[in-house]
Amino acid sequence: MPDTILITAADAGYYGLLGGLLDSLKAHPDSRHVPVGVIDLGLTAEQKEELAPRVGAIVPGRWDIPFPGCETAPRHRQAFTLTPFLPEYFPGHEVYLWIDADAWVQDWAAVEMYVRGAQKDGMAAVPEVDRNYPQCTSDLKLRIHRKNPLVRGRIRWISTSLYERLARLYPRYTSRTLMLRPHVNTGVFAATAAAPHWAAWKESYRAARIRGHEDLSDQAAFNHAFYTRDLPLHRLPCTCNWLTCFSVPRLDEATGRLVEPSLPHAPIGLIHVVGRTKSDVYEIRTLGGDLFFGPLGYHSFRQLRSKLAGLL
């Protein structure tokens, strides 16, 4: 691969998840050729000392997008401002691969796809659309007229997660225009240093109406930049960034790997544990139909898989 750096970020509360991501990388020999950079969002001194031998560099986070009250905002919220500025945190690399600390790598081929996709189109990421996800547009919500006979059955109100995020930051006309576009997830992505996406992303973010740290959304800013500026993007399949909040993967009892629920049951490259808590218990069904319950974080899933080994 070209000169690539893998970057993530964590505070003290995410330290265990960060350890899972790093351990999942260590399980793949090819990861030895990819340095890891960590952005510190509030790690303790002991955690940073423990972490130092495992990564290439640890740098402090900052408020890259200023907003009212940023001096007193929770430091972990810097995670929502830093991604458009990754080349400034770790300059001198050809490709920048970002992985949220609550994701982990099961199949190294997915990492290689991100890098190759970035080389082709400047940036590679995954839209939140898959045949196994329950909705064709993320968090689609609508209300139908029911009482008035003149308009009964017609749509009264419609919303999506992309609209809800954009509407807080940008004019409603733009938000409504883009609301049914596939929401591109920036929890995992790769981009070349020379890609135009960085500048467009920053410009869109700086143009957003941010009234406090609750409004911070690097993902909304990216989708605004991507769609309003018609940027190129190498769209990867959801197996490269599987969102557990949308669909629970199945377990292939023959290989011990998590796979997509539908045929051909392809192995999932990156598991992204998105949800209210990172230790949620999921109903995990095997390809043979057996049902088990357990979390999907890297360490907890390995423990569950070891327990199931004697039962399957």
Is the pLDDT at 235 greater than 60? The verdict is yes
pLDDT of residue 221: 95
Percent of the chain with pLDDT over 70: 90
pLDDT of residue 142: 57
Is the pLDDT at 42 greater than 70? The verdict is yes
pLDDT of residue 152: 57
Is the pLDDT at 16 greater than 80? The verdict is yes
Per-residue pLDDT reduced to its tens digit, 84-105: 999 999 999 999 999 999 999 9
Mean pLDDT of all residues belonging to the chain: 90
Instruction: Return the HEC string of the chain.
Output: CCCEEEEEEECHHHHHHHHHHHHHHHCCHHHHHCCEEEEECCCCHHHHHHHHHHCCEEEECCCCCCCCCCCCCCHHHHHHCCHHHHHHHCCCCCEEEEECCCEEECCHHHHHHHHHHHHHHCEEEEECCCCCCCCCCCCCEEEECCCCCCCCCCEEEEECHHHHHHHHHCCHHHHHHHCCCCCEEEEEEEEECCCCHHHHHHHHHHCCCCCCHHHCCHHHHHHHHHHHCCCCCEECCHHHCEECCCCCCEEECCCCEEECCCCCCCECCEEECCCCCCCCCEEEEECCCCEEEECCCHHHHHHHHHHHHCCC
pLDDT of residue 276: 65
Is the pLDDT at 137 greater than 70? The verdict is no
Per-residue pLDDT reduced to its tens digit, 243-299: 998 899 999 988 999 999 999 999 999 999 987 667 788 999 999 999 988 889 999
pLDDT of residue 136: 59
pLDDT of residue 139: 65
User: What domains, with CATH codes, occur in the chain?
Assistant: 4-131+184-239 (3.90.550.10), 141-178 (no CATH), 246-309 (no CATH)
**pLDDT, mean of residues 1-12:** 95
For the ranges 23-37, 170-184, 232-246, which has the lowest average pLDDT? 170-184
Per-residue pLDDT reduced to its tens digit, 205-224: 999 999 999 889 999 999 99
Is the pLDDT at 176 greater than 90? The verdict is no
